[in-house]
Amino acid sequence: MSGKQSMVWPVIKASVLLPLIGYVAFLTIDIQKQSELRSEIALDLAELDHIKYGVFDVSTWAEIGAQVALTKVDQFELTPRRRDDLLPLIESALYNLMNSIDEAIGRLSTMKQQVASIALKEHIDPVKIPTLARTILSRLETKLSEPETRQQLRRLLETELNLLRAETHTKVDRSVLIATMAKHGCTHRYPCRAQIAHDLDLASMALTHRSNAVLALSLFILLCCFIVGSPYTRLDLTLLALLSGVLWYGGISMPMLDVEAKLGALSIVIAGEAFTFANQLVFYQSKSIIDFVLLMVRSGQLDVMIVGLLIGLFSVIFPFFKLLCTGVCALFSRASKRSKVIQFFALKSGKWSMADVMVVSIFMAYIGFSRLIHTQLSQIGAQHGDIDVLTTNGTGLQVGFYFFLAFCLLGLVLSSILGRLDAQTDQGQQTQGNRAE
């Protein structure tokens, strides 16, 4: 009876946990697709926020200059201080005009000089120039108070500014920006940005919820292996090896770290007018381990290619073969004993596998990038006169990191179970040998 009961628990365990592991695998594949979608949306948002379309765009500054000039025309008033500043200028202009006329009269014949001199003194007396200047200033003030005059000045200024903007060429290539907006069905940048940012928030939220579900199910499966029935069995080893393979796939195929440096808001005061550049992205990068390895291998630089191959070998290939050989040991314990390759990868490759080192490295890189970006952007963000900068550090750990971390932790459990089972197998073989003797 006890033998039958001992067989019941493994059957129950396998019948319950195998479908759960299959569901975890299904969720992981779905999460990987959702992660690709989120990465695509994040890259589109990064394109719209790129600083080359804002602070580094010459045409944007030309537009700001035109806006300032037109605003100043609308706001212009002849204050007492400005009257005091303009009056000497008008008087000086009138005196210069009289001097020019005198010089022109001097070049005429004697009779014409006398007639012209009499006419000039009749209409413009040097003594009356200050009075004439005040009259001109008063007429100018009256004209400027009329809306028609301001409209004429504004139209004239707009014409000149349009010519200036047409001559202001920028080297910024907007083809990618236009294509990105067209992909999302937008024609204007800022409404498009709001739409993409909303889509990114929804994608990130869905990704977080599903990832938490996978990690919670993985923990549940691990606990069931130890609580239900006898722990440290080859069935447990097989189930956990399958689960570990699912987590390994998620860890290497999804982004582990987002590195982002952004000027949240750059406010600048020009001629008393405040202008703000919002969401000026300086740098953004998001890569999975596979993306990172492929990027380094395809770089064309020998030293970078070697580093990429080593990372791929010790952080991707070695863990995969370790999992594969662990499964072989669980299913074919005696046959695996005769293979030195299987024994090496299952029991000894942990010294060579750098999966745990990769996790620590990614976490340290996260801390390092966060500190570096915060420090550098804080220096930019220091207030200097009329410029005020609000910096944003968007560096953060992504789903791939947590999957890979779970894979590494589960790998420690697998090594412990495999070590115990291997010791039990050796002890059993030794006992059988002693009995045979």
- Identify whether residues 103 and 163 lie together within a single domain: yes
Residue 279 CA to residue 263 CA, distance in Å, equals 6
H or E stretch at 263 = strand 257-270
Whether the Cβ atoms of residue 36 and residue 175 lie closer than 8 Å to each other: no
Residue 76 CA to residue 86 CA, distance in Å, equals 14
Q: Which of 167, 201, 219 is the last residue of a domain?
A: 167
Residues 207-236 have a mean pLDDT of: 85
Question: Side chain identity at 148, as an amino acid letter?
Answer: E
Residue 251 CA to residue 411 CA, distance in Å, equals 13
Query: Mean pLDDT in the chain?
Result: 76
Q: Within a domain: residue 305?
A: yes
Residue 335, token pair as written in the block: 């046959």
From the list 352, 39, 407, the residue with the least C-alpha distance to 214 is 407
- Identify whether residues 348 and 259 lie together within a single domain: yes
Q: What is the CA radius of gyration of the chain?
A: 39
- Identify whether residues 142 and 273 lie together within a single domain: no
Q: Render pLDDT for 121-138 as a digit per residue (tens, 0 to 9).
A: 555 566 677 777 777 777
- Identify whether residues 6 and 150 lie together within a single domain: no
pLDDT at residue number 295: 83
- Identify whether residues 243 and 381 lie together within a single domain: yes
Residue 358 CA to residue 413 CA, distance in Å, equals 18
Q: Within a domain: residue 355?
A: yes
pLDDT at residue number 124: 58
Whether the Cβ atoms of residue 336 and residue 342 lie closer than 8 Å to each other: yes
Q: What are the DSSP calls for 53-90, one per residue?
A: GTTT-HHHHHHHHHHHHHHHHHH----HHHHHHHHHHH
Residues 52-57 have a mean pLDDT of: 80
Percent of the chain whose pLDDT exceeds 70:
65
State the residue for tokens 């007396």.
125
- Identify whether residues 151 and 247 lie together within a single domain: no
Q: Within a domain: residue 37?
A: yes
Residue 294 has pLDDT above 60, yes or no: yes
Q: Render pLDDT for 326-349 as a digit per residue (tens, 0 to 9).
A: 877 777 766 556 667 676 666 666
pLDDT at residue number 1: 44
pLDDT tier for residue 45 given thresholds of 50, 70 and 90: very high
Comparison of pLDDT for 39 and 152, the residue scoring more: 39
Residue 4 has pLDDT above 60, yes or no: no
pLDDT at residue number 31: 94
Residue 411 has pLDDT above 80, yes or no: yes
- Identify whether residues 290 and 350 lie together within a single domain: yes
Alpha helices in 76-128 (DSSP H): 80-106, 110-123
pLDDT at residue number 236: 82
Q: Within a domain: residue 63?
A: no
Range of the domain at 231: 2-57+172-436
- Identify whether residues 226 and 258 lie together within a single domain: yes
pLDDT at residue number 206: 93
Percent of the chain whose pLDDT exceeds 90:
17
Q: Which of 140, 167, 194 is the last residue of a domain?
A: 167
Q: Render pLDDT for 87-118 as a digit per residue (tens, 0 to 9).
A: 788 778 877 777 776 666 555 556 555 555 55
Question: Side chain identity at 279, as an amino acid letter?
Answer: N
Alpha helices in 280-353 (DSSP H): 289-297, 302-312, 318-331, 333-337, 340-343
Residue 54, token pair as written in the block: 């804002």
Q: Within a domain: residue 72?
A: yes
- Identify whether residues 387 and 337 lie together within a single domain: yes
Q: Within a domain: residue 426?
A: yes
Burial class (CB in 10 A: 0-12, 13-18, 19+), 375: exposed
- Identify whether residues 86 and 228 lie together within a single domain: no
Q: Within a domain: residue 424?
A: yes
- Tell me if residue 397 falls in helix, strand or coil: strand
Q: Within a domain: residue 97?
A: yes
Which among 46-50, 161-165, 380-384 has the top mean pLDDT?
A: 46-50
Number of domains into which the chain is organized: 2
pLDDT at residue number 201: 93
- Identify whether residues 193 and 122 lie together within a single domain: no
Q: Render pLDDT for 160-218 as a digit per residue (tens, 0 to 9).
A: 666 766 666 566 778 888 899 999 988 888 889 999 999 999 999 999 999 999 999 99
Task: Give ∠ CA 398-400-405 in degrees, rounded to 5.
Answer: 105
Phi/psi of residue 54, each to 5°?
-125, -100
- Identify whether residues 270 and 251 lie together within a single domain: yes
pLDDT tier for residue 237 given thresholds of 50, 70 and 90: confident
Q: Which of 149, 167, 185 is the last residue of a domain?
A: 167
pLDDT at residue number 33: 93
Comparison of pLDDT for 429 and 268, the residue scoring more: 268
